[in-house]
Each structure stands twice: as C-alpha cells, then as structure tokens.
C-alpha cells in the first residue's frame, strides 16, 4: 500500500487514509438576498431617469446604482460559493465563509450521528428542489438549510453513516480479538 502524499489530498485538513465521498453546497436560492441587493439599487437608480427622460445625465445614477448592486451581489455570491460541506468516510466538515477574511469550520464524526432527517418547505421547495437537512447527535443538532436535492443528499449521508458505523464495529471487534 502506498502512502498518500500531500498532493494526493482532496481538501485541506484531510487525514491519511480518509476517503472523500462527496461535496455539496447550499442551493442557489440561498443567494436570494444577493439578487435583491442587485435588483433594488437598479430599480431605485432607474426611477429618476424614467421620470425625467429628457435628462440623459440621470443615466449615470442608474449606472452607479447598478455598479453598487453588482458589488453587493458579488459579495453574497462569494459567501455562498465558499460555504460548502465535505463528507468523508469518517466525518462531515462544514466550511462557512464569514466576510472576506473570516471562516468557520465545524466537524462532526459520522459515528456520532444518531439520526438524519430532511424536510422540503412546501411548494417552493418542491418546485426548486431545495430543503433542510437535520443531523442529530447526542451533543446537539446540525441544521443545514437550503440544501439542493435534500432527498439525494439525505440518502448519501445515510450511506456514509452506515459505512462509518460498520467500520467502527469492525475496528472494535478487531481490537477485542
């Protein structure tokens, strides 16, 4: 068996012998605040030109509000893009971007998970295929909101927990023997 080198790691913080199963992130609907931050300044910036259409200099107000809204949108996009969940054969790692320079990382061992459940919030959740996954442990709950295809992620998480529990039981049996 060959030893993994640092270049073989799929993500920062991956341990030796740990296998990456899948990575997922929240649904794009989680960025709706970013879309509002783009549309509202554009709308308010267009109103003066629509009222006084003969004054072409008011187009600069619209362009300025568009640039401002675009900067706010890019900020929200980056916060969404750099927030993701990594599932390995041993743990779940949640990486949440907090501002441009802050980052929160939460890890949860798969063998410590008691139950996993998910819900889809009505018509909009069914229509756009997003929902909430709740992972319960002895310590507390990990709630992941606005997950894309929560039913698929739920099934993959259930499989990962089952594999981790089988590995844990196998390791305990081998140490007892």
Query: What are the tens digits of pLDDT across the range 1-57?
Result: 444 444 567 777 788 888 889 999 999 888 889 999 999 999 998 888 888 888 888
pLDDT of amino acid 171:
74
For residue 110, is pLDDT > 60?
yes
**Would you say residue 82 has pLDDT above 60?**
yes
> Of the candidates 72, 162, 66, which has an alpha carbon nearest to the alpha carbon of residue 113?
162
Neighbours of 118 (CB within 10 A): 19
Q: What is the pLDDT of residues 124-177, one digit of tens each?
A: 899 999 999 999 988 888 899 999 999 999 999 999 999 888 887 877 777 766
91 vs 1, higher pLDDT: 91
Contact 143, 150 (CB under 8 A): no
12 membership: H or E segment, kind and range: none
State the pLDDT at residue 2.
Answer: 44
pLDDT value, residue 6: 47
- Mean pLDDT (the chain) is 87
Instruction: Name the DSSP class of 26.
Output: B
What pLDDT was estimated at residue 177?
60
What average pLDDT does range 116-125 have in this prediction?
A: 92
DSSP state of 121: -
């Amino acid at each position: 068996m060959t030893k993994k080198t640092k270049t073989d790691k799929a993500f920062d913080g991956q341990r030796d012998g740990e296998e990456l199963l899948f990575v997922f992130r929240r649904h794009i609907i989680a960025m709706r605040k970013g879309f509002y931050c783009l549309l509202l300044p554009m709308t308010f910036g267009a109103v003066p030109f629509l009222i006084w259409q003969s004054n072409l200099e008011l187009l600069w107000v619209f362009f300025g509000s568009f640039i401002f809204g675009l900067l706010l949108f890019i900020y929200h996009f980056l916060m969404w893009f750099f927030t993701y969940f990594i599932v390995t054969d041993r743990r779940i790692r949640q990486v949440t971007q907090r501002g441009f320079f802050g980052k929160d990382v939460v890890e949860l061992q798969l063998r410590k998970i008691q139950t996993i459940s998910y819900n889809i919030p009505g018509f909009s959740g069914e229509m756009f295929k997003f929902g909430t996954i709740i992972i319960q442990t002895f310590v507390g709950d990990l709630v992941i909101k606005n997950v894309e295809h929560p039913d698929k992620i739920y099934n993959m998480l259930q499989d990962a927990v089952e594999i981790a529990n089988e590995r844990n039981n196998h390791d305990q049996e081998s140490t007892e023997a």
